[in-house]
């Protein structure tokens, strides 16, 4: 059996078609090329440069096994593979089928067994990514699985062994205390999705449903109450009070079965103040830390409820919401062009956690009881598919911070382009004044005129058709239109001279264009300072 360890989460175990994580924090300047069809250098458009504040990351899937008195035969290959052997079929049943063979799942990020308590589980999962909230990145951790598989124990825990929620709150405030140059404002919201209704558990009248609206690609609840928290104690007390309003009921599989999904969200606004001797402005970033405790899927026959009872209707609604979530996960693997987020309120609220802007930890809770073999396989199958979902993680900044960052990037690009422009001309014409270049051009033309003097060609006399020479026109040719070599340069008479003259003209045009580009860059740099 595997166990918890302090090894960080590693994402190498991915399906072959899953794109690898992409981290790009380097700025690339535009490449400068010489156009063969033009007389000047041009700046070619750079290759597609990814946003330095964004990355592509697959959902991290962690499988946690709940202990039971009767267990299936399971083999854990640390840290990310699990093989489950089905229960033995009675001899009276039909011969064994392919479903009776052991099934191996090997693309998880981590698999832990019953020897891992909540503290160890937190250290190897959420603790590894919680610091990213202070960098402006959204983080979501959710518990998924069959009813009675230990989701609420993983997320909430109990007083002697708190779960991820309580430990995450304490760790968050500890990280902020370690940064004296950072001030933070944290607000709390707690939502419950009961059937297809969304309730605010922080409100005095939590039974009144609230509305969801779509804004800029995200789903936002309207009129939800936000509670400002300033300490870990205040945050834990507010969460405990809100979750106490959650709808629960007793079934044959669980004494306090959750009948709704709960989303606890912390909005974290951090402002980093520069040093006293620095001229840089403060930077403000915004992040959301969400804890999602999903209700478990269940079968009516196993829970001992009936279809016409309230508990039975709740079970049907829970299964419908989880079915919509499984369709979203399946769509990313089969038809990513259309993701059915709008099939339920649950998938609308979790839109950013699946394929959106969030670092998502997907905790898959399973039980090894032989009677739950089919549910365990279903949970592992969808968890394996969830590991192929890729999120687009972006650092969330306020508009002022974003503008300052873009100005800084523009300044870096302008310096790199100016450095490249200095290397364009082999003669370094950039450092030559226009007056000096004109004088040099005139001197060069004079030397070429003296060296290219040649004796005038003798013209043969014009002859009439009767082979008699033509008489002179009576007056000598006028010298009014004759060109004075001292006043005007002589045009080149050989192809080589013409080529040299064109080269000089090209150099002059190149200088003019470089001067214009440098003036533009200096202007941009001045505004970016």
Nearest to 361 by CA among 521, 184, 132: 132
304 vs 62: CA distance, rounded Å = 30
Structure confidence at residue 133 (pLDDT) = 94
Nearest to 148 by CA among 310, 365, 325, 315: 365
| 3-state secondary structure string across 353-377 | HCCCCCEEEEEEEEECCHHHHHHHH
13 vs 347: CA distance, rounded Å = 26
In terms of Cβ atoms closer than 10 Å to its own Cβ (0-12, 13-18, 19+), residue 438 is exposed
DSSP 267-304: EEEEEEPPPTT--PPPEEEEEEEEEEEPPPB--HHHHT
238 vs 233: CA distance, rounded Å = 9
243 vs 190: CA distance, rounded Å = 8
Q: Is 446 annotated as a binding residue?
A: no
Q: Is 406 annotated as a binding residue?
A: no
Residue 128 is encoded by which pair of tokens?
A: 């590894």
Q: 81-85 and 103-105 as β-strands: parallel, antiparallel, unpaired? A: antiparallel
Phi then psi dihedrals of residue 317, to 5 deg: -65, -40
Structure confidence at residue 31 (pLDDT) = 31
In terms of Cβ atoms closer than 10 Å to its own Cβ (0-12, 13-18, 19+), residue 504 is middle
User: Residues 18, 25: contact at Cβ < 8 Å?
Assistant: no
Residue 63 is encoded by which pair of tokens?
A: 């499988």
Q: Is 168 annotated as a binding residue?
A: no
Q: Is 152 annotated as a binding residue?
A: yes
Residue 476 is encoded by which pair of tokens?
A: 């000598």
Q: Is 148 annotated as a binding residue?
A: yes
Nearest to 517 by CA among 405, 439, 424, 434: 424
Structure confidence at residue 358 (pLDDT) = 95
Residue 466 is encoded by which pair of tokens?
A: 């009767």
Q: Is 283 annotated as a binding residue?
A: no
CA distances from 306 to 35, 195, 295 (A): 78, 17, 18
Structure confidence at residue 8 (pLDDT) = 40
Q: What is the DSSP letter of 127?
A: G
Question: What fold, for 49-397?
Answer: Kinesin (3.40.850)
Q: Is 145 annotated as a binding residue?
A: yes
User: Residues 184, 254: contact at Cβ < 8 Å?
Assistant: no
Residue 79, preceding bond cis, omega within 30 degrees? yes
Rg (CA), the chain: 38
Crossing angle (nearest 10°) for helices 310-334 and 373-386 = 40
Q: Where are the domains of the chain?
A: 49-397, 398-448+491-529
Which helix (H) or strand (E) segment holds residue 184: the answer is strand 182-194
Q: What is the DSSP letter of 213?
A: E
DSSP 447-498: HHHHHT--PPPPPPPPB-TTSPBPPP-SSPPPSTTPPPTTTSPPPP-SHHHH
Low-confidence ranges of the chain (pLDDT < 50): 1-3, 5-50, 430, 474-475, 478-480, 495-496, 499, 503-504, 506, 524-529
Residue 286 is encoded by which pair of tokens?
A: 């915004």
């Amino acid at each position: 059996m595997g166990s918890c360890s302090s090894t960080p989460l590693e994402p190498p175990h991915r399906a072959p078609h899953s794109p690898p994580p992409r981290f790009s924090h380097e700025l690339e300047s535009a490449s400068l090329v010489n156009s063969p069809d033009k007389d000047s250098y041009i700046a070619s458009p750079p290759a597609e440069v990814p946003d330095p504040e964004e990355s592509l990351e697959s959902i991290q899937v962690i499988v946690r096994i709940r202990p039971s008195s009767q267990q299936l035969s399971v083999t854990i290959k640390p840290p990310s593979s699990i093989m489950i052997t089905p229960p033995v079929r009675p001899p009276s049943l039909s011969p064994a089928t392919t479903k009776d063979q052991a099934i191996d799942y090997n693309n998880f990020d981590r698999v832990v067994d019953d020897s891992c308590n909540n503290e160890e589980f937190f250290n190897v999962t959420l603790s590894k990514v919680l610091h990213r909230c202070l960098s402006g990145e959204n983080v979501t951790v959710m518990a998924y699985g069959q009813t009675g598989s230990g989701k609420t124990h993983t997320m909430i825990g109990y007083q002697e062994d708190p779960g991820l929620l309580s430990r995450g709150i304490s760790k968050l405030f500890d990280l902020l205390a370690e940064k004296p140059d950072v001030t933070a404002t944290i607000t709390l919201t707690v939502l419950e999705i009961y059937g297809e209704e969304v309730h605010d558990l922080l409100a005095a009248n939590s039974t009144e449903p609230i509305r969801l609206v779509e804004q800029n690609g995200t789903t936002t609840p309207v009129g939800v109450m936000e509670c400002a928290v300033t300490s870990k104690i205040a945050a834990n007390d507010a969460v405990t009070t809100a979750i106490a309003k959650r709808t629960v009921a007793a079934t044959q599989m669980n004494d306090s079965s959750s009948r709704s999904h709960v989303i606890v969200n912390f909005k974290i606004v951090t402002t980093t103040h520069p040093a006293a001797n620095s001229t840089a402005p403060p930077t403000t970033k915004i992040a959301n830390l969400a804890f999602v405790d999903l209700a478990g899927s269940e079968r009516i026959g196993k829970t001992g409820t009936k279809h016409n009872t309230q508990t039975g209707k709740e079970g049907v609604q829970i299964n419908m919401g989880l079915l919509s979530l499984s369709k979203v996960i399946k769509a990313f693997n089969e038809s990513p062009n259309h993701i059915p987020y709008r099939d339920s309120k649950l998938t609308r609220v979790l839109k950013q956690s699946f394929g959106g802007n969030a670092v998502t930890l997907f905790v898959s809770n399973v039980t090894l009881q032989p009677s739950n073999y089919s549910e365990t396989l279903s949970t592992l199958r969808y968890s394996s598919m969830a590991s192929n979902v890729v999120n687009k993680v972006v650092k969330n900044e306020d508009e002022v911070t974003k503008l300052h960052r873009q100005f800084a990037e523009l300044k870096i690009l302008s310096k790199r382009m100016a450095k490249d422009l200095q290397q364009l001309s082999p003669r370094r014409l950039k450092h030559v004044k226009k007056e000096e270049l004109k004088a040099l051009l005139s001197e060069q033309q004079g030397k070429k005129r003296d060296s290219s003097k040649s004796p005038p060609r003798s013209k043969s006399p014009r002859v009439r058709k009767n082979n008699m020479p033509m008489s002179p026109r009576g007056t000598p040719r006028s010298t009014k239109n004759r060109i004075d070599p001292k006043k005007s340069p002589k045009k080149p008479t050989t192809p080589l001279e013409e080529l040299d003259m064109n080269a000089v003209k090209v150099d002059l045009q190149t200088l003019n264009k470089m001067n214009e580009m440098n003036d533009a860059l200096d202007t941009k740099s001045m505004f970016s300072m």
